[in-house]
């Protein structure tokens, strides 16, 4: 019962992330390719993160370092979206593809 609100928030975040390929795709036929690249990056992080955390916990016998690394990555991502990424808009097509 307690996990339901967290699950709803997670589903809401997933919907926001999966709407980005449609927002930036230069044409409808590119949405799946952009979404596939995004999905690859997410799954790659999902594979590497537990391995990295396991290695760090094994070497330090503590969760402090892994949680610090995770916090740093999360802050870097938030900084990127808040400061570096100015505006999300469609990627332009070269002139020969528009015709």
CA distance 43 to 35: 12
Q: To which H or E segment does residue 88 belong? A: none
* In the predicted structure, residue 12 carries a pLDDT above the cut 80: no
* In the predicted structure, residue 84 carries a pLDDT above the cut 80: yes
For the chain, the helix, strand and coil percentages under 3-state DSSP, each to the nearest 5:
80, 0, 20
The residue segments making up the domain with residue 22 are 16-86
pLDDT of residue 10: 63
Query: Are 10 and 75 in contact, with CB atoms under 8 Å apart?
Result: no
pLDDT of residue 20: 80
* 82 within a domain of the structure (yes/no): yes
The rounded Cα 55 to chain-centroid distance in angstroms is 23
> What is the tens place of the pLDDT at every residue in 32-82?
888 899 899 989 999 999 999 999 999 999 999 999 999 999 999 899 888
pLDDT of residue 60: 95
* 68 within a domain of the structure (yes/no): yes
* 20 within a domain of the structure (yes/no): yes
pLDDT of residue 95: 64
């Amino acid at each position: 019962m307690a996990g339901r609100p967290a699950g709803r928030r997670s589903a809401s975040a997933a919907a926001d992330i999966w709407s980005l390929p449609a927002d930036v795709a230069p044409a409808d036929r590119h949405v799946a390719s952009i979404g596939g690249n995004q999905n690859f990056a997410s799954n790659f992080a999902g594979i590497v993160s537990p391995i990295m955390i396991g290695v760090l916990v094994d070497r330090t016998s503590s969760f402090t370092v892994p949680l610090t690394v995770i916090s740093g990555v999360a802050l870097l991502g938030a900084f990127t979206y808040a400061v570096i990424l100015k505006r999300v808009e469609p990627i332009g097509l070269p002139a020969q593809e528009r015709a």
